[in-house]
């Protein structure tokens, strides 16, 4: 047990956390996130990745350069002031954007493929799923991600919150 | 729908006039536009048309609202579109003097095109795109610097889709919106026509089945008459009939027809049993052949499990169609129509009443079917989850035990097991609630016949007028139940037919599609083979616009040993796949002995090259069988010699069953190193002119590796050898080394030359040396 605890602390020490003390974030005119790390004298473009994209949207954010070399991890956006948090949140939302399906207008299957017409806050969209069963990924009991043939991702935030008709259409594939 | 209908989307070769008018107002004349492209996402991530045009000096982006939308109907196949007025939303211009380095950044679901401002050096967002519009986005970025990009490329594959339209499955030719050509109403007919040749193969047997089914159902029609009208009215009652009181003769006739009917049924069953095995065999063979001819890309994009189900289930569905479906369908129709006519002939008044429940029954049955399908689908999904869980845990049993998680897994098992049992239970209960009452519905018809008919019989007895005799009534009632019988069949028939059509469609899709890699007509088969390999500016992408190999050129002379070094994922194995022509290059060419591999016969190439890769796959069978897989005619001596050369012999003879040790199917018996040695023996036995070792010795300890290498050096003397490894010690015997990083060839030369150059190889070498030093080993 003791050994275990020790090794965990050691592992912990390997993670480099980015805090307001050791990093400054900013937004360029072009709309991209840049950062100035402690000990460096200029801002450079950084790339943000959610480590647990399904569970934690604003915690454990990995900050890397263009080649995926990690500068460090943001433990939580709460640590940063509202403006900085907003800049990071905006970029994360862009990166992880997937249209939220609010209504399934129609869903028809022919020869193993299915054609969907869905409504999202971003507009109505028609899409094709190659293998319907495999293209719907359940996350927990109530969420689902739908991936179309071109690898576009759509999210159903709550299956139980879908209207009756929409749910009926998707039910068979869950 | 008529077959002459145009495909829903035409390639877009012209900007719509409304759009070009807006551009013109902004000062971009149609004549100045070099290329154009339509993205499907706006600046703030909503789905809308974003037109991008490239002129000689600038790139302009126009976002518009409105356009063509999919109609909001409940039928996804409704191809009609709603068109709304186009309204300009935003317009931006990027001067090519000010901006450079246009490139697409991939995000999760789509991406964005970014350019660098030359003055500030800062990245700027140009426009967004979804994955459906990705290819075009990458192309237009390339077009900024590359004059070679044409509008054909930009508009060619992707059709002018209304915005908001996602992707469509590709047609059999691999391009375009094939799917929509398929779902046209003519499709079922087309598939049926294509099935005919299969059908004709068994025309004799099918004909016999047909005739037997028709005969036995005809006799079936006769039997109610025999036991009803004939026996009761003619034999027992009608003194003038000639059969009166001839009970023995009557029974003999009745028994005779029954016997005949049994004989017909028997012949039918025997013939069916005979052809069923053959039809299934044939169909499986056809499906397997169709699958086999495809190139590796086909298999890597599909799961093996799915293909196995396809072979098994699809052959079953198609078999059903030939043997059970069509003959019964035809006879049932004939039978139903015939009976109804007879019923009307016997008594049209009663028949009008007894037919009332039929449409009601059919309607209820249809909705019940939907319910059942739903229940079935739910059960299926639960059983899928249950099965995949079980197979997962059983294959990962070692890990479960290592972490002593048996109890935890047991709990998870219980949960899924319960969920499955629960859904089956729930479904069955629900189904029973409905099925029996519905069956009773038809009984109503029978009751009505008894009541009305009985009344008529009674009345006619009193009046002496024969509206209905007792015998006819008995015949009528038994015929009525025979009329009801095909109803259920018809109901199931349409469902099973669609199942069969799906199977046939999948089969034809695979049969009709052309393998990505195939021999050209009359491929070259050279008389001699030297074994010289040359890459000339080769580029390759598995997925469009994502280069895995980028402009690689090198030459391996006959008899030379060349090493390919690089990090994991650098593209080393891809190079091997290209030499073997498991895939075709995207650009450039690969020459073997000066012939382009595309011109050489594939079997010729593969005959001359042997490959030992990181993946070893052993088929079920003995070790000797597996070694002999390379050359089925090899003698026992040759097999042993090959095993000796690869260092496999020593461990094989330690097994009690020696070379007869059964392996395969999960390779449980052999260790990783042992498997690798067997697969090297397989390659050695083939005695190839070109030997490729793709991390072949990675799973072995250094001592074994050295021993095998020695053996390999002996065998490959005078033969071209390509060794891929990330452990540099593996490559000590290579004449020359090639360093691959991110798909590009960064360096090449001998070990000493590369060390002196102090490039990537030097870095790799130092890193591995340091690692060895760290554990106390000096090289």
Q: How far is residue B158's CA from residue B150's CA, in Å, rounded to a whole number?
A: 14
Q: Write the residue in B47, B112, B169 that is nearest to A122 by C-beta.
A: B47
Give the pLDDT of residue B3.
35
Which of B48, B49, B50, B70 should one mutate to test binding to chain A, selecting the residue with the greatest count of A CBs within 10 A?
Answer: B70
The answer to whether B400 touches B410, Cβ cutoff 8 Å, is: no
Find the mean pLDDT for residues A111-129: 85
Q: With a CB-CB cutoff of 8 Å, which residues 496-525 of chain B face chain A?
A: 501-502, 505-506, 509
Task: Report the pLDDT averaged over residues B429-433.
Answer: 80
Contacts of A161 (CB under 8 A, 6+ apart): none
Residue positions counted in chain B: 779
What is the spatial distance between Cα A122 and Cα A33, in angstroms, rounded to a whole number?
24
Contact list, A130 vs chain B (CB under 8 Å): 169
Contacts of B509 in chain A (CB under 8 A): 111
The contacts of residue B477 (CB under 8 Å, 6+ apart) are: B446, B449, B450, B453
- Most confident range (mean pLDDT) of A139-148, B512-521, B700-709 is A139-148
Averaged pLDDT, B234-242: 77
| Residue B168 pLDDT greater than 50, yes or no | no
More confident residue, A9 or A133: A133
Residue B172, CA distances (Å) to B76, B169, B180, B300, B497 in order: 21, 9, 12, 18, 22
CB B531 within 8 A of CB B208: no
Q: What tens digit of pLDDT does each residue of B82-127 get? A: 677 888 889 999 999 999 889 888 888 889 999 998 888 888 899 9
The span from the CA of B717 to the CA of A94, in Å, is 58
Smallest Cβ distance to A126: which of B70, B124, B509? B70
Spatial contact of B370 and B507, defined as CB atoms under 8 Å apart: no
Please check the confidence at residue B170 and state whether its pLDDT lies above 50: no
Helices and strands counted in chain A (H then E): 4, 13
**Residue B710 forms beta bridges with which residues?**
none
The residue of chain A with its CA nearest to that of B75 is A106
With a pLDDT cut of 70, the percent of chain A lying above it is: 90
**Cβ–Cβ contacts within 10 Å for residue A15, how many?**
11
Are A123 and B47 an interchain contact pair (Cβ–Cβ within 8 Å)? yes
Under an 8 A CB cutoff, do B179 and A113 touch?
yes
User: For B390-395, what is the mean pLDDT?
Assistant: 82
- The mean pLDDT of B752-757, rounded to a whole number, is 87
**CA B330 to CA B333: how far, in whole Å?**
5
- Angle of CA points A163, A165, A168, to nearest 5°: 105
> B132-165, pLDDT tens digit by residue?
888 888 888 888 887 777 887 777 544 333 333 3
CA atoms B514, B518, B519, B520: torsion sign: positive
The alpha carbon of residue A53 and the mean position of all alpha carbons in its chain are separated, in whole angstroms, by 4
Burial of A49 (0-12, 13-18, 19+ CB in 10 A): middle
| Minimal C-alpha gap between B152 and chain A (Å) | 21
Quote the CA–CA distance of B51 and B35 in Å, as a whole number.
11
Q: Does B73 touch chain A (CB under 8 A)?
A: yes
Give the per-residue pLDDT at A19. 93
Q: Which of B57-66, B434-443, B473-482 has the lowest mean pLDDT?
A: B434-443
Beta-sheet strand order (sheet of A123-129): A103-110, A113-120, A123-129
Cα(B103)–Cα(B516) distance, integer angstroms: 29
Sign of CA dihedral B474, B475, B478, B479: negative
Phi and psi angles of residue B147, each rounded to the nearest 5 degrees, phi first: -70, -15
Nearest in space to B295 (alpha carbons), one of B504, B513, B617? B513
pLDDT of B603 above 80: yes
CA distance B525 to B658: 40
DSSP conformation class of B98: T
With CA atoms as reference, the chain A residue closest to B306 would be A131
The residue-averaged pLDDT of A89-117 equals: 86
Contact indicator for B219, B261 with CB cutoff of 8 Å: yes
In whole angstroms, give the CA distance from residue B350 to residue B339.
Answer: 14
Q: What sign for the dihedral angle of Cα B583, B589, B594, B600?
A: positive
Chain A positions touching B130 (Cβ under 8 A) are 150, 152
Three-class secondary structure of residue B724 per DSSP: strand
Question: For B682-703, what is the mean pLDDT?
Answer: 82
Nearest to A30 among B77, B122, B501 (CB): B122
Q: Does B117 touch chain A (CB under 8 A)?
A: yes
The dihedral of CA B14, B17, B23, B27: what is its sign?
positive
What is the ipTM score, two decimals? Answer: 0.89
Instruction: Name the residue in chain B with its Cα closest to that of A28.
Output: B122
Residue B591 CA to its chain's centroid (Å): 33
Largest CA distance in chain A: 60
Write out pLDDT tens, residues A15-46.
Answer: 788 999 999 999 988 889 999 998 888 899 99
What average pLDDT does range A63-83 have in this prediction? 90
- DSSP secondary structure string for all residues of B164-197: TB------TTSSS-HHHHHTSTHHHHHHHHHHHH
In Å, what is the CA distance from B197 to each residue of B172, B284, B513?
Answer: 20, 16, 19
Tens digits of residue pLDDT in B336-379: 888 889 889 888 888 888 888 888 888 887 777 777 777 777 77
CB B513 within 8 A of CB B173: yes
Cβ contact A164:A103 at 8 Å = no
CB B536 within 8 A of CB B223: no
> What is the reported pLDDT for B334?
82
- Which of A30, A48, A159, A171 would best serve as a mutation to test chain B binding (most B beta carbons within 10 A)? A30
Nearest to A108 among B77, B373, B509 (CB): B77
Write the DSSP assignment of B180-249 as a string of letters.
Answer: HHHTSTHHHHHHHHHHHHHHHHTHHHHHHHHHHHHHHHHHHHHHHHIIIIIIIIIIII-TTSS-TT-HHH
SS3 B156: helix
Predicted confidence (pLDDT) at residue B312 exceeds the cutoff of 50: yes
Mean pLDDT of chain B: 79
**B:348-407 residues touching chain A, CB 8 A cutoff:** 373-374, 377-378, 381, 384
Closest CA to B475 of B659, B220, B267, B651: B220
Chain B CA closest to residue A43: B122
User: SS in 3 state form for B550-581?
Assistant: EEEEEEECCCCEEEEECCCCCCHHHHHHHHCC
**Percent of all residues in chain B with a pLDDT value above 70, rounded to a whole number:** 87
Give SS3 for B516. Answer: coil
pLDDT at A68: 78
- pLDDT at B486 exceeding the cut of 70: yes
CA B149/CA B138 separation, integer angstroms: 11
Q: Which pLDDT value is given to residue B13?
A: 65
pLDDT for the residue B548: 86
Å from A130 to nearest chain B CA? Answer: 7
What pLDDT score was predicted for residue A61?
A: 92
Cβ-Cβ contacts under 8 Å between A and B: the total is: 140
DSSP state of B324: I
Answer yes or no: is pLDDT of B743 > 90.
no
Q: How far apart are CA B12 and CA B155, in angstroms?
A: 6
CB proximity list for B397: less than 8 A, separation 6 or greater: none
């Amino acid at each position: 047990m003791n050994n275990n605890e020790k090794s965990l602390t050691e592992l912990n020490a390997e993670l480099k956390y980015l805090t307001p003390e050791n990093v400054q974030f900013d937004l360029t005119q072009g709309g991209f996130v840049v950062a100035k790390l402690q000990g460096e004298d200029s801002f450079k473009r950084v790339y943000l990745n959610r480590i647990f994209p399904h569970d934690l949207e604003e915690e454990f954010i990995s900050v890397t350069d263009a080649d995926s070399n990690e500068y460090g991890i943001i433990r939580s956006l709460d640590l940063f002031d509202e403006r900085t948090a907003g800049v990071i949140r905006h970029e994360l939302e862009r990166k992880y954007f997937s249209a939220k399906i609010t209504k399934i207008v129609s869903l028809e299957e022919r020869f193993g493929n299915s054609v969907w017409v869905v409504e999202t806050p971003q507009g109505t969209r028609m899409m094709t799923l190659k293998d319907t069963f495999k293209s719907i990924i359940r996350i927990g009991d109530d969420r689902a991600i739908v991936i179309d043939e071109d690898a576009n991702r759509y999210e159903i935030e709550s299956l139980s919150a879908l209207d009756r008709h929409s749910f009926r259409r998707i039910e068979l594939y869950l | 729908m008529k077959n002459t209908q145009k495909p829903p989307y035409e390639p877009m070769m012209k900007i719509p006039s409304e759009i070009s008018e807006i551009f013109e107002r902004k000062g971009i004349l149609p004549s100045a536009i070099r290329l154009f492209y339509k993205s499907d996402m706006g600046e703030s991530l909503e789905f809308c048309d974003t037109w991008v045009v490239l002129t000689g000096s600038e790139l302009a982006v126009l976002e518009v609202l409105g356009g063509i939308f999919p109609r909001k109907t409940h039928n996804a196949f409704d191809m009609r579109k709603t068109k709304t007025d186009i309204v300009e939303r935003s317009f931006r211009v990027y001067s090519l003097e000010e901006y450079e380095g246009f490139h697409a950044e991939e995000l999760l679901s789509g991406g964005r095109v970014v350019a660098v401002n030359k003055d500030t050096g800062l990245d700027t967002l140009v426009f967004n795109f979804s994955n459906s519009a990705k290819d075009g986005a990458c192309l237009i970025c390339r077009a900024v610097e590359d004059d070679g990009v044409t509008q054909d490329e930009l508009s060619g594959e992707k059709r002018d889709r209304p915005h908001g339209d996602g992707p469509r499955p590709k047609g059999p030719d691999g391009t375009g919106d094939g799917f929509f050509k398929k779902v046209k109403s003519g499709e079922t007919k087309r598939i049926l026509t294509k099935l005919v040749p299969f059908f004709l193969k068994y025309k004799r047997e099918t004909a016999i089945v047909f005739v037997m089914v028709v005969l036995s159902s005809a006799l079936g029609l006769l039997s109610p008459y025999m036991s009803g009208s004939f026996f009761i009215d003619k034999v027992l009652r009608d003194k003038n009939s000639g059969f009166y009181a001839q009970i023995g003769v009557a029974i003999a006739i009745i028994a005779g027809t029954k016997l005949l009917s049994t004989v017909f049924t028997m012949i039918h069953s025997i013939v069916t049993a005979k052809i069923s095995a053959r039809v299934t065999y044939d169909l499986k063979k056809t499906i397997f052949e169709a699958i086999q001819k495809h190139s590796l890309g086909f298999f890597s994009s599909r799961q093996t499990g799915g293909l196995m189900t396809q072979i098994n289930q699809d052959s079953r569905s198609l078999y059903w169609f030939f043997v059970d479906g069509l003959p019964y369908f035809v006879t049932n129709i004939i039978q139903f129509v015939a009976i109804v006519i007879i019923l009307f002939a016997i008594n049209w008044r009663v028949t009008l009443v007894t037919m009332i429940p039929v449409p009601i029954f059919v309607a209820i049955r249809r909705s019940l079917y939907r319910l059942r399908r739903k229940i079935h689908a739910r059960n299926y999904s639960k059983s899928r989850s249950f099965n995949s869980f079980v197979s997962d845990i059983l294959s990962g049993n070692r890990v479960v035990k290592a972490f002593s998680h048996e109890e935890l897994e047991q709990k998870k098992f219980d949960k899924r097991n319960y969920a499955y049992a629960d859904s089956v239970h729930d479904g069955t209960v629900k189904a029973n609630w409905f099925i029996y009452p519905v069956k009773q519905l038809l009984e109503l018809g029978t009751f009505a016949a008894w009541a009305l008919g009985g009344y008529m019989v009674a009345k006619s007895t009193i009046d002496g007028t024969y509206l209905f005799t007792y015998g006819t009534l008995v015949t009528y009632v038994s015929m009525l139940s025979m009329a009801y019988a095909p109803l259920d069949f018809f109901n199931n028939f349409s469902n099973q037919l669609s199942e069969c059509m799906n199977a046939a469609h999948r089969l034809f899709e695979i049969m009709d599609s052309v393998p990505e890699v195939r021999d050209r007509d009359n491929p070259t088969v050279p008389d001699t083979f030297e074994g010289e390999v040359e890459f000339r500016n080769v580029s390759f992408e598995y997925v469009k616009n994502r280069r895995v190999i980028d402009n690689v050129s090198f030459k391996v002379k006959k008899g030379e040993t060349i090493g390919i070094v690089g990090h994991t994922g650098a593209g080393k194995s891809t190079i091997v796949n290209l030499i073997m022509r498991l895939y075709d290059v995207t650009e450039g060419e690969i020459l073997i002995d000066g012939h382009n591999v595309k011109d050489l016969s594939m079997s010729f190439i593969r005959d001359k090259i042997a490959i030992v890769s990181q993946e070893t796959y052993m088929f079920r069978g003995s070790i000797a069988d597996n070694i002999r897989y390379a050359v089925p005619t090899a003698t026992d001596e040759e097999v042993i010699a090959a095993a000796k050369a690869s260092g496999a012999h020593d461990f094989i003879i330690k097994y009690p069953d020696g070379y007869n040790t059964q392996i395969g199917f999960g390779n449980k018996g052999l260790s990783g190193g042992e498997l690798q040695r067997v697969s090297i023996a397989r390659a050695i036995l083939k005695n190839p002119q070109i030997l490729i070792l793709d991390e072949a010795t990675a799973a072995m300890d250094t001592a074994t590796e050295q021993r095998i290498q020695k053996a390999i050096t002996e065998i490959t003397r005078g033969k071209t050898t390509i060794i891929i490894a990330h452990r540099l010690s593996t490559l000590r015997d290579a004449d020359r080394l090639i360093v691959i990083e991110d798909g590009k060839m960064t360096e090449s030369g001998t070990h000493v030359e590369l060390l002196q150059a102090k490039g990537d190889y030097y870095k790799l070498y130092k890193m591995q040396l340091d690692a060895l030093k760290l554990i106390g080993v000096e090289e």
